[in-house]
Protein backbone atom coordinates (compact mmCIF):
# COMPACT_ATOMS: atom_id res chain seq x y z
CA UNK A 1 0.00 0.00 0.00
CA UNK A 2 2.85 2.41 0.77
CA UNK A 3 4.29 1.92 -2.71
CA UNK A 4 0.87 2.62 -4.28
CA UNK A 5 0.48 5.83 -2.24
CA UNK A 6 3.87 7.06 -3.45
CA UNK A 7 2.52 7.12 -7.03
CA UNK A 8 -0.28 9.59 -6.26
CA UNK A 9 1.59 12.77 -7.34
CA UNK A 10 2.53 11.13 -10.65
CA UNK A 11 -0.95 9.75 -11.29
CA UNK A 12 -2.37 13.20 -10.54
CA UNK A 13 -0.09 14.62 -13.25
CA UNK A 14 -1.19 11.94 -15.72
CA UNK A 15 -4.86 12.67 -14.98
CA UNK A 16 -4.27 16.44 -15.37
CA UNK A 17 -2.52 15.98 -18.73
CA UNK A 18 -5.04 13.43 -20.02
CA UNK A 19 -7.93 15.78 -19.15
CA UNK A 20 -6.24 18.98 -20.39
CA UNK A 21 -5.67 17.72 -23.94
CA UNK A 22 -9.34 17.14 -24.92
CA UNK A 23 -10.38 20.20 -22.90
CA UNK A 24 -7.99 22.38 -24.91
CA UNK A 25 -9.20 20.80 -28.14
CA UNK A 26 -12.78 21.78 -27.25
CA UNK A 27 -11.57 25.39 -27.40
CA UNK A 28 -9.53 25.00 -30.60
CA UNK A 29 -12.56 23.52 -32.35
CA UNK A 30 -14.60 26.60 -31.46
CA UNK A 31 -11.92 29.23 -32.13
CA UNK A 32 -9.77 27.84 -34.95
CA UNK A 33 -11.84 25.00 -36.46
CA UNK A 34 -9.03 22.65 -35.45
CA UNK A 35 -9.02 19.69 -35.87
CA UNK A 36 -12.39 20.50 -37.41
CA UNK A 37 -15.00 23.18 -37.02
CA UNK A 38 -18.28 23.31 -35.17
CA UNK A 39 -21.01 21.14 -36.70
CA UNK A 40 -22.99 21.33 -38.89
CA UNK A 41 -21.04 23.69 -41.20
CA UNK A 42 -17.54 23.44 -39.69
CA UNK A 43 -17.36 27.11 -38.69
CA UNK A 44 -16.03 28.94 -35.66
CA UNK A 45 -17.56 31.16 -33.00
CA UNK A 46 -17.22 34.92 -32.68
CA UNK A 47 -14.34 35.64 -30.32
CA UNK A 48 -16.18 38.20 -28.18
CA UNK A 49 -19.36 36.17 -27.80
CA UNK A 50 -20.03 34.26 -24.58
CA UNK A 51 -19.09 30.97 -26.25
CA UNK A 52 -16.00 32.62 -27.78
CA UNK A 53 -14.78 33.82 -24.39
CA UNK A 54 -15.43 30.34 -23.02
CA UNK A 55 -13.39 28.87 -25.89
CA UNK A 56 -10.58 31.32 -25.13
CA UNK A 57 -10.62 30.16 -21.51
CA UNK A 58 -10.49 26.55 -22.71
CA UNK A 59 -7.50 27.14 -24.99
CA UNK A 60 -5.45 29.32 -22.63
CA UNK A 61 -6.53 27.60 -19.41
CA UNK A 62 -6.26 24.15 -20.94
CA UNK A 63 -2.74 24.96 -22.12
CA UNK A 64 -1.76 26.15 -18.64
CA UNK A 65 -3.20 22.99 -17.10
CA UNK A 66 -1.42 20.86 -19.68
CA UNK A 67 1.88 22.39 -18.54
CA UNK A 68 0.86 22.42 -14.90
CA UNK A 69 1.49 26.16 -14.68
CA UNK A 70 -0.61 28.24 -12.25
CA UNK A 71 -2.70 25.11 -11.85
CA UNK A 72 -4.70 26.00 -8.75
CA UNK A 73 -6.08 29.39 -9.84
CA UNK A 74 -6.52 28.27 -13.45
CA UNK A 75 -8.40 25.14 -12.45
CA UNK A 76 -10.62 27.16 -10.12
CA UNK A 77 -11.58 29.56 -12.92
CA UNK A 78 -12.19 26.72 -15.37
CA UNK A 79 -14.30 24.87 -12.80
CA UNK A 80 -16.52 27.94 -12.64
CA UNK A 81 -16.65 28.17 -16.41
CA UNK A 82 -17.81 24.57 -16.62
CA UNK A 83 -20.43 25.13 -13.91
CA UNK A 84 -21.83 28.05 -15.91
CA UNK A 85 -21.74 25.99 -19.11
CA UNK A 86 -23.62 23.16 -17.45
CA UNK A 87 -26.33 25.24 -15.80
CA UNK A 88 -26.79 27.70 -18.67
CA UNK A 89 -26.60 25.42 -21.69
CA UNK A 90 -27.27 21.85 -20.55
CA UNK A 91 -29.42 21.72 -17.41
CA UNK A 92 -32.18 23.64 -19.22
CA UNK A 93 -32.59 20.54 -21.43
CA UNK A 94 -33.41 18.26 -18.51
CA UNK A 95 -32.01 17.08 -15.20
CA UNK A 96 -29.93 14.12 -16.40
CA UNK A 97 -26.38 14.92 -17.59
CA UNK A 98 -26.24 11.80 -19.75
CA UNK A 99 -29.31 12.98 -21.64
CA UNK A 100 -28.92 16.79 -21.69
CA UNK A 101 -25.45 16.79 -23.29
CA UNK A 102 -23.79 18.14 -20.17
CA UNK A 103 -21.85 15.13 -18.93
CA UNK A 104 -18.46 16.49 -20.03
CA UNK A 105 -19.15 19.94 -18.56
CA UNK A 106 -20.23 18.42 -15.25
CA UNK A 107 -17.21 16.12 -15.04
CA UNK A 108 -14.77 18.89 -15.98
CA UNK A 109 -16.36 21.18 -13.39
CA UNK A 110 -15.57 18.77 -10.58
CA UNK A 111 -12.26 17.59 -12.03
CA UNK A 112 -10.94 21.16 -12.23
CA UNK A 113 -12.31 21.86 -8.76
CA UNK A 114 -10.26 18.90 -7.51
CA UNK A 115 -7.09 20.23 -9.18
CA UNK A 116 -7.72 23.67 -7.70
CA UNK A 117 -7.45 22.05 -4.26
CA UNK A 118 -4.93 19.26 -4.91
CA UNK A 119 -2.47 21.00 -7.24
CA UNK A 120 -0.82 19.82 -10.44
CA UNK A 121 1.17 16.80 -9.30
CA UNK A 122 4.84 15.92 -9.60
CA UNK A 123 5.26 16.42 -13.34
CA UNK A 124 4.41 20.10 -13.67
CA UNK A 125 5.95 23.53 -14.04
CA UNK A 126 4.40 24.39 -10.67
CA UNK A 127 6.40 21.57 -9.08
CA UNK A 128 9.63 22.80 -10.70
CA UNK A 129 8.96 26.37 -9.58
CA UNK A 130 8.27 25.21 -6.02
CA UNK A 131 11.58 23.27 -5.87
CA UNK A 132 13.57 26.29 -7.11
CA UNK A 133 11.86 28.79 -4.84
Q: How does pLDDT run across 24-67, given as a tens digit for each residue?
A: 999 999 999 999 999 899 999 999 999 999 999 999 999 999 99
Global pTM reads: 0.94
Q: What is the pLDDT of residues 59-87, one digit of tens each?
A: 999 999 999 999 999 999 999 999 999 99
- Tell me if 115 sits within 8 A of 72, measured CB to CB: yes
Helix (H) or strand (E) holding 124: none
Cα three-residue angle 83-88-107, rounded to 5 degrees: 35
- Tell me if 42 sits within 8 A of 14, measured CB to CB: no
Structure confidence at residue 4 (pLDDT): 87
- Tell me if 19 sits within 8 A of 108, measured CB to CB: yes
Amino acid sequence: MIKWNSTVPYLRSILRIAAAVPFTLAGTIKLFAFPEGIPPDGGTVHLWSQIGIGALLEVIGGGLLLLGLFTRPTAFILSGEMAVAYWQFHAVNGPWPNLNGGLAALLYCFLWLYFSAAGAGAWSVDSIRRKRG
